[in-house]
């Protein structure tokens, strides 16, 4: 039984979140708190397994509380954020501080939307309960040797839970001269834009959301927008990234399998695919198709993954030829591209 403490300054929101979670037989809500000071006392008294945490609260904001919590008593935290630009930026900061995942605040709408939201919230809490709490480590120095971009036509990266930090850690170790990179991170609109801007500010690479059909070039990183698929096709001998709005695949849009499968059809021999931390099995089948076509396929290992779901599924399927932590995968990629 997963014991959850709900922290939110809105009594209505606490009741709604608590009611959603209590409908799962594997989850029990052991308490609630209206501000961080109440939460601190409740954590000591109730010893919850997972915290759901609002960002905007009286007396102390959620970020300040999270920072203290991760320093003094690290535990799995799922942030509950507003669907605004500010909410997205602050949520990414919370993930940097150690939160496992986030969900948007529920909004009034159709019953079907609330049902989908309820499933999402319960899935996130369950994943957080079994997640590895990651320790902050300094980044290795960026490579100084030459890169031969012609060795790879593209690098493909898929990730989900814990992926915003995992992708950031990998990209921050790569120079501006990398082959074109395409990223599918399970993320919602608003948050994908904030995530992309954040990556662009941290790395020497040119990072942007894919908005239209684009011939990909070295030094560019294209991120799938929240709630849209991306794929890779070959036109007139050039690789073109496309964005489109088909139905979710495996409950995901964007889906890693969509990108990986399209790349396999586009001629995968000179491609590298990385499948990083994430819940579920998205990307496993597409990675197998890439491997069978001659692509290089690696997954993140269990010890360094926040949730070893997607990488595990690919590994057990035989879709990956190697696994390693994020720094190892980043370094192996550079060795593969060494001029």
Are 298 and 283 in contact by the 8 Å Cβ rule? The answer is no
Quote the CA–CA distance of 91 and 68 in Å, as a whole number: 16
What gap in Å lies between CA 238 and CA 216, rounded to an integer? Answer: 8
Measured CA to CA, the distance from residue 259 to residue 242 in angstroms comes to 10
CA nearest to 164, candidates 145, 183, 137: 183
Cis amide bond preceding 205, omega within 30: no
Catalytic residues: 160, 186, 282
Residue length of the chain:
339
Q: What are the E-state strand segments in the chain?
A: 2-7, 27-33, 50-54, 77-81, 101-104, 154-159, 181-185, 206-209, 214-215, 220-223, 229-235, 238-244, 271-275, 296-300, 322-324
- Cα–Cα distance measured from residue 276 to residue 325, given in angstroms and rounded to the nearest whole number: 9
305 and 311 Cβ atoms separated by less than 8 Å: yes
Strand 214-215, strand 206-209: pairing: unpaired
């Amino acid at each position: 039984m997963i014991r959850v403490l709900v922290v939110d300054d809105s009594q209505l929101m606490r009741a709604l979140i608590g009611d959603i979670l209590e409908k799962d037989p594997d989850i029990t809500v052991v308490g609630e708190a209206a501000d961080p000071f109440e939460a601190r006392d409740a954590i000591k008294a109730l010893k919850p397994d997972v915290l759901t945490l609002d960002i905007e609260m009286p007396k102390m904001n959620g970020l300040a509380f999270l920072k203290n919590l991760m320093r003094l008593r690290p535990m799995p935290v799922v942030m509950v954020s507003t669907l605004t630009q500010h909410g997205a930026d602050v949520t990414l900061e919370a993930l940097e501080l150690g939160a496992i995942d986030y969900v948007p605040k529920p909004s009034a709408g159709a019953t079907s939307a609330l049902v989908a939201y309820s499933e999402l919230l319960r899935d996130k809490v369950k994943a957080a309960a079994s997640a590895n709490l990651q320790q902050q480590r300094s980044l290795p120095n960026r490579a100084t040797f030459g890169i031969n971009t012609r060795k790879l036509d593209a690098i493909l990266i898929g990730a989900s839970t814990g992926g915003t930090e995992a992708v950031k850690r990998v990209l921050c170790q790569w120079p501006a001269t990398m082959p074109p990179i395409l990223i599918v991170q399970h993320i919602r609109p608003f948050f994908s834009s904030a995530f992309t801007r954040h990556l662009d500010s941290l790395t020497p690479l040119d990072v942007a959301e894919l908005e239209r059909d684009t011939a990909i070039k070295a030094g560019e990183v294209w991120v799938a927008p929240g709630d849209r698929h991306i794929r890779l096709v070959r036109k007139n001998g050039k690789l073109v990234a496309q964005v489109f709005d088909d139905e979710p695949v495996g409950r995901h849009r964007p889906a890693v399998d969509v990108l990986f499968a399209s790349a396999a059809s586009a001629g995968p021999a000179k491609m590298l695919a990385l499948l990083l931390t994430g819940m579920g099995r998205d990307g496993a089948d597409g990675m197998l198709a890439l491997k069978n076509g001659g692509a290089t396929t690696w997954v993140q290992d269990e010890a360094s993954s926040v949730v070893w779901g997607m990488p595990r599924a690919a590994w057990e399927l035989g879709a990956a030829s190697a696994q390693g932590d994020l720094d190892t995968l980043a370094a192996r990629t550079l060795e593969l591209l060494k001029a």
